[in-house]
Amino acid sequence: MAMVETFYDVMRRQGITRRSFLKFCGLTAAAMGLSPAYAGKIAHAMETKPRIPVLWLHGLECTCCSESFIRSAHPLAKDVILSMISLDYDDTIMAAAGHQAEAIIEETIEKYSGNYILACEGNPGLEQEHTGGMSCIIAGKPYTEQLRHAAKHAKAIISWGSCASWGCVQAASPNPTGATPIHKVPDLGNAPIIKVPGCPPIAEVMTAVITYILTFERLPSLDRQGRPKMFYSQRIHDKCYRRSHFDAGQFVEKWDDEAARKGYCLYKMGCKGPTTYNACSTIRWNGGLSFPIQAGHPCIGCSEDGFWDKGGFYNRLTSIHQFGVEENADEVGIAAATVVGGAVAVHAAVSALKRTQSKGDQE
Amino acid sequence: MSVIKTPNGYTLDNSGTRHVVDPVTRIEGHMRAEVNINSENIITNAVSSGTIWRGLEVILKGRDPRDAWAFVQRICGVCTGTHALTSVRSVENALGINIPENANSIRNIMQLSLQVHDHLVHFYHLHALDWVNPVNALKADPKATSALQQSVSPHHPNSSPGYFRDVQNRLKKFVESGQLGPFKNGYWTNPAYLLPPEADLMAVTHYLEALDFQKEIMKTRTIFGGKDTHPNWTVGGVPCPINMDGTGGVGGLNMVNLNQVKEILTQTKTFIDNVYIPDILAVGQFYKGWLYGGGLSSQNVMSYGDIPDKANDYSTENLMMPRGAIINGNLKEVHEIDLTDPEQIQEQVPHSWYKYPDGVKGLHPWDGITEPDFDVSTAKGSKHNIEELDENASYSWIKAPRWRGHAMEVGPLARYVIGYAKGDKEITDQLTYVLKTLDVPVTALFSTLGRTAARALEAQWAADKQIYFFDKLMANIKNGDSSTHGGEMWDPKDWPKEAKGVGFTEAPRGALAHWIKIKDTKIENYQCVVPTTWNGSPRDEAGNIGAFEASMMNTKVEVPHEPVEILRTLHSFDPCLACSTHVMTEEGEELITVTTGPIGS
């Protein structure tokens, strides 16, 4: 039997000395409030524990989550796959096909029951009348079967992207396939589910969720909706670099106008930043390079539940309870042109007030 | 058991042993292949089935046409953006909207960057394992690998024996860990793998290098479109404004991020020239005797053309990617295509899980109907456990599109065959160079290897044209034109009561078009015919088989229960099944040689 590579092996290969490794174990013990004697036990565990197996299943989806994942700048997708996890099943990149591929799921369940992560990209279609529950067929069977089987023995489930988290585009009205997000699929077992929404999620957020679990050996803190708080507890609008223009009532009125060229607020172009919980305006995309608003397009709210059915992407937000002031954007904008100081002050004050009111809305 | 002659020239004999490959992996989406293999291990009957349907066309009804790009972009996250571009073009066509020159250049850079990225990732991460054996790479001599690298690509800096030894050690540790990850249960003892260990090690090393590099290629789209995967587009232009020297220049494209675009384009061209092209030629040298998989490529190929040089002119003459159709292998005649002619493109569903009204055989996409009707009552097995499909009944979520009744192959190989037939100088030079270097006749193009080579050549072509459009963009800005959006007809109040249009592109996988009907400012009907719909199509009313099925026919399979050859040929089309469930794909062509050819430096 071949030697099983452990976390320790991985760390060693990545250039960490044994001395540093033991120090790391000691610090970890201290951080966990354990006596120094536990450092040896932690070291032992890390020396003997295999890379965590991951089954990455694909249902009704477009593969944008996988495409995003491979764009991660830190860590590189290569290093995640070679050194951190054991990506035993992922039909998008695996060498095996057909029954040799499906055999891997059985083997992983047999060998690692309760100890592997199930990563879900896409969702199952449950509609029966026209599609027979067969809008997504794998090995001659409905995807739902493969999903349930793998879910029941998993340690935890990651719902990648808006398909797995909310349903996304195929679940948009009238949802012809009965596309259903993972957490709403009946008879799935009890494994905890982490939602990482977005269409797709930000690459570095995806790899961060994985490395967080491996490093701290626990799931990240989740909000009420099951999303990691560290990435999904604030609105795009809260941290948008154009926020000052919003507060000042300076808005883009139409494509490529003078305001657009100056980088003013895109709220009146339909921006959904004020109602979208995601890390785009802080982590940004593709190695922190940019994000949709920075490139001149309003946020379409792609990490929100049902964002396809919340009115057009270019229609201004109006009926947002925790967010009343923007209905006055036109008036404020006009006022700002004439009585700049006063209008800005009033607008900013109302914005601040609304921020206070809406605090804690998400949790 | 039966023997059938298809109108498009294939003899289908289902008397041999039936083999099923489901799932076909390393593709986008879900697909199944079934073949009959005779006592001499030859495929005598081939069936390909799209096993996913998402119903986006149904979902689009009643929506704002300006929003459609975002919905259809989610048809596919691998060819991300190409559906969005096709969509905004369809709306612009319907409403008569013109876009500024700068928007055309930026859109072309985005579309070309997709061609480069998609082709590169396809070859290394979806296709290479059909040709390259990572386990065999462990036997390689790093010194000899270094010598091989330096001979096939003298300019690539990562070529020392120590470099290859490090990669080999990492790979060794990985394999010895017993946790083989994506390489698990591969067919590593199959005699269909022909590369020597050094070529395997070089290719596996580039698998990893390409995985690192590919993320750079798409950064141009992040600058222009805000994110990637799934950047932002808009009807009437592009969303990013240009502000070269005014107040608040950081709000738009400025000298800093345009410099970054330029840098990425240059690096991309270098990587394609120094890594992708030499690898294809090296692989080609060892596999040039394996010329199965040509399928329809020597008979019926089609391309809509793409990459308009000047904005708003979609005529054949203005398109830098070739346009036309060749039928019955007559390369002397390239037919014009009219996407608006109801007699030319029609979709049929006799073997698909959809239904049409009684008596309707084929429908032009403007009048297309997408009504699911899943039925496997005559297949072997049960409804929720299909053992063998019945190809005489319905067996796929893919429709069967036909051009004037013909099943067509689309994709890079189709584009290169059409370009060659039309005497396109760049394409002819590239092909001639490859054929000469590999010392194979033109007919070698009509193969799995030819498809794979054409894709690489096209990546090289696209990397070059990206720079052309960047220079054009900068020249236009220098001349005082900073416009990126004309604002024409943005307000639906200005629209006619009814309108219809068609938008087309050449997606990495082949000809793509969207047909839209607008009524009272909403989408009345929206139909996409995608590359994998063409290539992966099931049989039609007359019994013609599609490109996937044709390409598998008559191939020798070394070990019938290890489907390396089937995967190799299907992958050469780069199938995209999420697309094909009303979309399709294809590609390909062959390579050779040691340096980088006419477009390379």
Residue from A48, A65, A67 whose CB has the most chain B CBs within 10 Å, to mutate = A67
Q: Does residue B566 contact residue B548 with C-beta atoms inside 8 Å?
A: no
Is the alpha carbon torsion for A279, A281, A285, A289 positive or negative?
negative
* pLDDT tens per residue, range A165-219: 999 999 999 999 999 999 999 999 999 999 999 999 999 999 999 999 998 989 9
* pLDDT tens per residue, range A321-342: 444 444 445 544 443 433 333 3
Is the alpha carbon torsion for A30, A34, A35, A36 positive or negative?
negative
State the nearest Cα–Cα gap between B563 and chain A, in angstroms: 8
State the nearest Cα–Cα gap between B264 and chain A, in angstroms: 13
CATH of A51-232, one of 3.40.30.10, 3.40.50.300, 3.90.1150.10, 3.40.50.700: 3.40.50.700
* pLDDT tens per residue, range B132-191: 999 999 999 999 999 999 999 999 999 999 999 999 999 998 998 889 999 999 999 999
- End-to-end distance of chain A based on CA atoms, in angstroms? 49
Closest by Cα among B38, B94, B81 to B503 = B94
Is the alpha carbon torsion for A71, A73, A79, A81 positive or negative?
negative
Question: What's the one-letter identity of residue B450?
Answer: G
Task: Report the 3 state secondary structure along B397-410.
Answer: CCCEEEECCECCEC
Longest dimension (CA), chain B: 76
Q: How far apart are CA B258 and CA B467, in angstroms?
A: 12
How much is the mean pLDDT over chain A?
85
DSSP B194-252: ---HHHHHHHHHHHHHHHHHHHHHTHHHHHHHS-SSS---BTTB-S--B-SSSTTGGGS
State the nearest Cα–Cα gap between A6 and chain B, in angstroms: 8
How confident is the model at residue A37, as a pLDDT? 67
pLDDT > 50? residue A1: no
Q: How far apart are CA B39 and CA A213, in angstroms?
A: 52
Query: What confidence tier does A238 reach under pLDDT thresholds 50, 70, 90?
Result: very high
Q: Least CB-CB distance to A290: which of B176, B222, B490? A: B222
* pLDDT tens per residue, range B49-106: 999 999 999 999 999 999 999 999 999 999 999 999 999 999 999 999 999 999 999 9
How confident is the model at residue A7, as a pLDDT? 64
* pLDDT tens per residue, range A44-83: 655 556 799 999 999 999 999 999 999 999 999 999 999 8
Contacts of B169 (CB under 8 A, 6+ apart): none
- The alpha carbon torsion through B451, B453, B456, B457 (nearest 10 deg) reads -100
Residue of B nearest to A177 (CA): B54
DSSP A123: B
How confident is the model at residue B585, as a pLDDT? 29
* Residues A131, B182: C-beta atoms closer than 8 Å: no
On whether any CB of chain A is under 8 Å from the CB of B117, the answer is no
How confident is the model at residue B364, as a pLDDT? 97
DSSP A14-78: TT--HHHHHHHHHHHHHHTT--TTHHHHHHHHHHHPBPEEEEEEE-BS-SHHHHHHTT-TTTTHH
Q: Among all chains, which residue has been given the structure tokens 């802080």?
A: A282
* Residues B30, A138: C-beta atoms closer than 8 Å: yes
* Residues A3, B177: C-beta atoms closer than 8 Å: yes
Q: Least CB-CB distance to B239: which of A132, A297, A312? A: A297
How confident is the model at residue A343, as a pLDDT? 40
Alpha-helical segments (H) within A59-180: 64-69, 77-79, 98-112, 143-152, 161-166
On whether any CB of chain A is under 8 Å from the CB of B209, the answer is no
How much is the mean pLDDT over chain B?
94
Q: Where are the domains of chain A?
A: 1-49, 51-232, 236-358
Q: How far apart are CA A161 and CA A98, in angstroms?
A: 26
B53: chain A residues, CB-CB within 8 Å: 125, 131, 135-136, 177
Indicate the burial class of B218 (C-beta count within 10 angstroms; 0-12, 13-18, 19 or more): buried
* Residues B125, A93: C-beta atoms closer than 8 Å: yes
pLDDT > 60? residue B592: no
Residue B570 belongs to what H/E stretch? helix B564-571
* pLDDT tens per residue, range B352-380: 999 999 999 999 999 999 899 999 999 99
Cis ω for the linkage preceding B231 (within 30 of 0): no
Q: Least CB-CB distance to A5: which of B129, B177, B385? A: B177
Residue A117 belongs to what H/E stretch? strand A117-121
Q: Least CB-CB distance to B490: which of A78, A255, A300? A: A255
- This prediction's pTM: 0.91
A256, two tokens: 């490529």
How confident is the model at residue A231, as a pLDDT? 97
Pairwise pLDDT comparison (A361 vs B3), residue with the higher score: B3
Q: How far apart are CA B340 and CA A348, in angstroms?
A: 53
For chains A and B, CB pairs below 8 A equal 342
Q: How far apart are CA B77 and CA B218, in angstroms?
A: 13
How confident is the model at residue A49, as a pLDDT? 64
How confident is the model at residue B593, as a pLDDT? 29
A286: chain B residues, CB-CB within 8 Å: 215, 218-219, 222, 227-228
What is the average per-residue pLDDT within B206-221? 97
Q: How far apart are CA B138 and CA B203, in angstroms?
A: 12
How confident is the model at residue B177, as a pLDDT? 87
CATH number of A236-358: 4.10.480.10
What is the average per-residue pLDDT within B495-521? 98
B3-231+255-392+403-580 belongs to CATH 3.90.79.10: no
Residue of B nearest to A68 (CA): B229
B114, two tokens: 């997709």
Q: How far apart are CA B350 and CA B531, in angstroms?
A: 19
* Residues A314, B66: C-beta atoms closer than 8 Å: yes
B64: chain A residues, CB-CB within 8 Å: 312-314
Query: What confidence tier does B527 reach under pLDDT thresholds 50, 70, 90?
Result: very high
On whether any CB of chain A is under 8 Å from the CB of B400, the answer is no
State the nearest Cα–Cα gap between A18 and chain B, in angstroms: 18
State the nearest Cα–Cα gap between B456 and chain A, in angstroms: 19
How confident is the model at residue A6, as a pLDDT? 65
How confident is the model at residue A350, as a pLDDT? 46
A93: chain B residues, CB-CB within 8 Å: 25-26, 125-126, 182
CA angle (A121 as vertex; A120, A123 as ends), nearest 5: 85
On whether any CB of chain A is under 8 Å from the CB of B483, the answer is yes
State the nearest Cα–Cα gap between A302 and chain B, in angstroms: 10
Q: Does residue A4 contact residue A50 with C-beta atoms inside 8 Å?
A: yes
A136: chain B residues, CB-CB within 8 Å: 30, 51-53
How confident is the model at residue A3, as a pLDDT? 44
pLDDT > 50? residue B550: yes
What is the average per-residue pLDDT within B116-141? 97
How confident is the model at residue A160, as a pLDDT? 98
* Residues B178, A3: C-beta atoms closer than 8 Å: yes
Contacts of B158 (CB under 8 A, 6+ apart): B149, B205, B209
Torsions phi, psi for B85 (to 5 deg): -65, -45
* pLDDT tens per residue, range A6-42: 666 766 665 566 776 676 666 655 555 556 666 676 6
How confident is the model at residue A30, as a pLDDT? 59
State the nearest Cα–Cα gap between A33 and chain B, in angstroms: 33
Q: How far apart are CA B574 and CA B585, in angstroms?
A: 7
How confident is the model at residue B594, as a pLDDT? 33
How confident is the model at residue A50, as a pLDDT? 78
Contacts of A37 (CB under 8 A, 6+ apart): none
On whether any CB of chain A is under 8 Å from the CB of B230, the answer is yes
Q: How far apart are CA B229 and CA A200, in angstroms?
A: 7
On whether any CB of chain A is under 8 Å from the CB of B509, the answer is no
State the nearest Cα–Cα gap between A357 and chain B, in angstroms: 31
Q: Least CB-CB distance to B227: which of A62, A145, A292? A: A292
Residue from B56, B184, B209, B382 whose CB has the most chain A CBs within 10 Å, to mutate = B184
B231: chain A residues, CB-CB within 8 Å: 295
* Residues A286, B219: C-beta atoms closer than 8 Å: yes
* Residues B230, A200: C-beta atoms closer than 8 Å: yes
Closest by Cα among B235, B221, B403 to B304 = B403
Closest by Cα among A191, A11, A184, A137 to A84 = A11
Q: Where are the domains of chain B?
A: 3-231+255-392+403-580
B54: chain A residues, CB-CB within 8 Å: 60, 125, 135, 169-170, 177, 179
How confident is the model at residue A324, as a pLDDT? 43
Closest by Cα among A312, A169, A326, A181 to A246 = A326
Q: Does residue B250 contact residue A262 with C-beta atoms inside 8 Å?
A: no
